[in-house]
């Protein structure tokens, strides 16, 4: 489409990240395709900018919520089951959780969010699609990409926690 470059540049300036701008621009043009019949031709550019800005700001808000969630998760109290376990096991688990959180924070927000949703119990692609506002058919691809990005980031981190030998 003739406005893609302009919309992408707008999103890149707004988000400060090319990959996020790619993702949001794709979402905006998918929405445009869905609403094409409703948009007057002379107002298409304004509709695209308005939708791009809205989705870009939602992405920024999502990052902020994710950072708050990470901070909250750092300070979770011990459970009675934790008190029964050896301290070294608890420390290894805390290190592992911290490393996973740090790795998630380095990923694109949508990747971190889709992984969090998938591994916290939303196994249905339809449920995940509704939560991240994409088509259900896109979830498998997005999840695979997010897993690859996580594995790459996790493995490249110099602070990989020590592993217990089973």
The CA distance from 48 to 6, in Å, is 10
Domain ranges for the chain, please list them: 1-63, 77-166
Q: Which of 67, 30, 61, 62 is nearest to 48 (CA)?
A: 30
How far apart (Å, rounded) are the C-alpha atoms in residues 61 and 70? 14
pLDDT of residue 149: 94
Confidence of residue 79 (pLDDT cuts 50, 70, 90): low
Contact of 92 with 161, CB cutoff 8 Å:
yes
Q: What is the pLDDT of residue 159?
A: 61
pTM of the shown model? 0.47
Those residues whose C-beta lies under 8 Å from the C-beta of residue 52, and which sit 6 or more positions away, are: 7, 10, 11, 14, 24, 25, 28
Q: At residue 73, does pLDDT exceed 70?
A: no
152 vs 91, higher pLDDT? 152
* Highest-confidence segment of 39-43, 51-55, 116-120, 149-153: 149-153
Contact 117, 142 (CB under 8 A): no
| pLDDT of 81 strictly over 80 | no
pLDDT for 128 equals: 85
Tell me which fold the domain 77-166 belongs to. Arc Repressor Mutant, subunit A (1.10.10)
Predicted confidence (pLDDT) per residue in 35-55, tens digit: 878 878 888 888 888 888 888
Average pLDDT, the chain: 81
């Amino acid at each position: 489409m003739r406005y893609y470059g302009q919309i992408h540049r707008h999103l890149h300036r707004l988000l400060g990240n090319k990959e996020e701008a790619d993702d949001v621009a794709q979402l905006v043009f998918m929405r445009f395709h869905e609403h094409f019949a409703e948009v007057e031709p002379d107002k298409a550019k304004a509709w695209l900018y308005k939708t791009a800005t809205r989705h870009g700001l939602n992405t920024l808000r999502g990052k902020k919520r994710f950072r708050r969630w990470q901070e909250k998760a750092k300070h979770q109290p011990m459970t009675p089951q934790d008190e029964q376990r050896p301290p070294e096991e608890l420390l290894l688990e805390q290190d592992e959780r911290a490393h996973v959180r740090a790795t998630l924070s380095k990923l694109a927000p949508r990747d971190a969010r889709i992984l969090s949703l998938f591994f916290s119990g939303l196994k249905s692609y339809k449920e995940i699609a509704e939560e991240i506002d994409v088509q259900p058919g896109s979830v498998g691809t997005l999840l695979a990409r997010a897993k690859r990005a996580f594995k790459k980031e996790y493995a490249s981190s110099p602070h990989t926690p020590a592993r217990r030998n089973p």
